[in-house]
Structure 1
Amino acid sequence: MAKDTFLNRKVTLNCKGKLIDLSSPAVMAILNVTPDSFYGNSRINTVDEALKATEKFINEGATFIDVGAYSSRPGAVDISVDEELNRSIPIVQAIAKEFPDTLISIDTFRAKVAEECKTAGAHIINDISAGSLDKDMFDTVAKLQVPYIMMHMKGTPQTMQHEPTYQNLTLEVIIYFTEKIAALKKLGVKDIIIDPGFGFAKTIDHNYELLQKMADLNIFELPILVGFSRKSMITKVLDIKNEDALNGTTVLNTIALQKGAAILRVHDVKASIECIKLSEKVKFAYF
């Protein structure tokens, strides 16, 4: 099903009035403002901590800062819209004020949170549900005219790992994105990024099957974001803790880059920038 679409792929995003070039892959740094994210070392509790982490991410080469106030780990506690806003708005406002040139993504599946964070200074919406958990999300994205990251997932964070099954995983993911992209384009959304959803409603074997066939997603000619960082698809295979999963993360990021990934969403920016630099060196080496 895969075809050579690398030369035709959309490689720019209109973000904050600027064209962001993704012809060379970029890094999105994870900024969790939740008390229960799966990787404890990534949790941010105060505005000051968020600003220090953001400065570190920027200095290490991150293009985007992804602020998430709702933990989407399997079985995560469901929080109210107000709680999500109370966690996210002060962080987004502070980053926008302290680092005005930084591109902020808001990791939410709720249209109200997306819109209010856009007003507070966010520039991108990162939706794990691709509009499935809030019927107003697509209309909100169209109204805001911001880049939209949509991920493949079935169910909710509370139910997604309850024995996920597929007849043909890759085909079902492609059909899912085909329908979502058509709906967004009908509404006039111009900047769409797709995320295969590694670790979401997928078994360990599903994750590796999807990674093996990830190049098939280049058929959409859209930027692809991947998020493997320190996830259980690494730790369970290697029988390690997520604190020890940086090497495994880098291996999977490298494979994804070879298959067309345009954005790496990670906890560890420096290692990911190095991974991209070396992968690009191989891609453009001439002997």
Structure 2
Amino acid sequence: RVAEQAIDAGAVLVNDVSGGLADPDMLTAVAAGGVPFVVMHWRGFSDAMDSRAVYGDVVGEVVAELRARMDAVVSAGVPPERLVIDPGLGFAKLAQHDLSLVAGLADLRALGRPVLVAGSRKRFLGRVLAGAGGTPPAAERRDGATAALSAIAAHQGAWAVRVHDVRATADAVRVANAVARARAGVR
């Protein structure tokens, strides 16, 4: 019902962290609403998330699970051109899994849909900043790490990033793009 009301109020995209799995009516609402739908990789509700962070090949498994979810969403009536995918950083993943997924964005992009990276202030960034055995900084002190992650994701072809501190992230992405253009010899 929230998605339907949001679309009626003018929302131009529905972002469902469960990819339509948590609410049996979500896919019908999105199909009827005619808006893009973000399909995030999801293995279940938060209370059991950590126990589901088991992967042999995190990138390969997330790609396969997203492909299956995309097929289900399309079968439910959402046109494939309206799908955006999200690797679900922080959802049933350990810090190394999240980093591997960002490093493997090309494999996610091979699914043929735009990729949204939502890593803003995530726990894994705190762990990276803390180093071995250190105390992770509070979420609101992870904006610099978020900007770095977002610039890397943009450089690797992410369609969009979801962030809290838009200005710092936009600046980081602009600088990364300028460096990429300089490397390519484009002015």
Q: Which amino acid aligns with 1:218?
A: R
1:241 to 131, 135, 138: 138
Q: Which amino acid aligns with 2:179?
A: V
Report the count of equivalent residues: 176
Residue 39 (structure 2) pairs with residue 142 (structure 1): no
When the two structures are superposed, what TM-score results if normalisation uses the length of structure 2? Answer: 0.86
* Unmatched 5+ stretches in structure 2: 131-136
Distance change (3 Å), C-alpha of 1:223 and 1:277: same
Alignment partners' CA distance in 2, 1:184 and 1:242: 33
After superposition, the C-alpha distances for 1:179-213 in whole angstroms (9 at most, x for unaligned) are 22223334242311111111111011111121221
When the two structures are superposed, what TM-score results if normalisation uses the length of structure 1? Answer: 0.58
Q: Which amino acid aligns with 2:83?
A: I
Q: Which amino acid aligns with 2:44?
A: G
* Unmatched 5+ stretches in structure 1: 1-111
* CA shift for structure 1 position 163: 5.2
Q: Which runs of 4+ in 1 moved over 6 A?
A: none
Question: Which residue number corresponds to residue 103 of structure 2?
Answer: 212
Identity of aligned residues (%): 35
Which structure's residues are more often strand, by fraction? 1
Question: Which residue number corresponds to residue 133 of structure 1?
Answer: 22
1:273 to 155, 170, 173: 170
Instruction: Map 1:1-287; keep pairs closer than 5 Å.
Output: 112-162=1-51, 164-186=53-75, 187-189=77-79, 190-239=81-130, 240-285=137-182, 286=185
Question: Which residue number corresponds to residue 133 of structure 2?
Answer: none
SS of the residue 1:284 aligns to: helix
Distance change (3 Å), C-alpha of 1:188 and 1:230: closer
Greater RCO, 1 or 2 (C-alpha within 8 Å, sep 6+): 1
Alignment partners' CA distance in 2, 1:140 and 1:175: 25
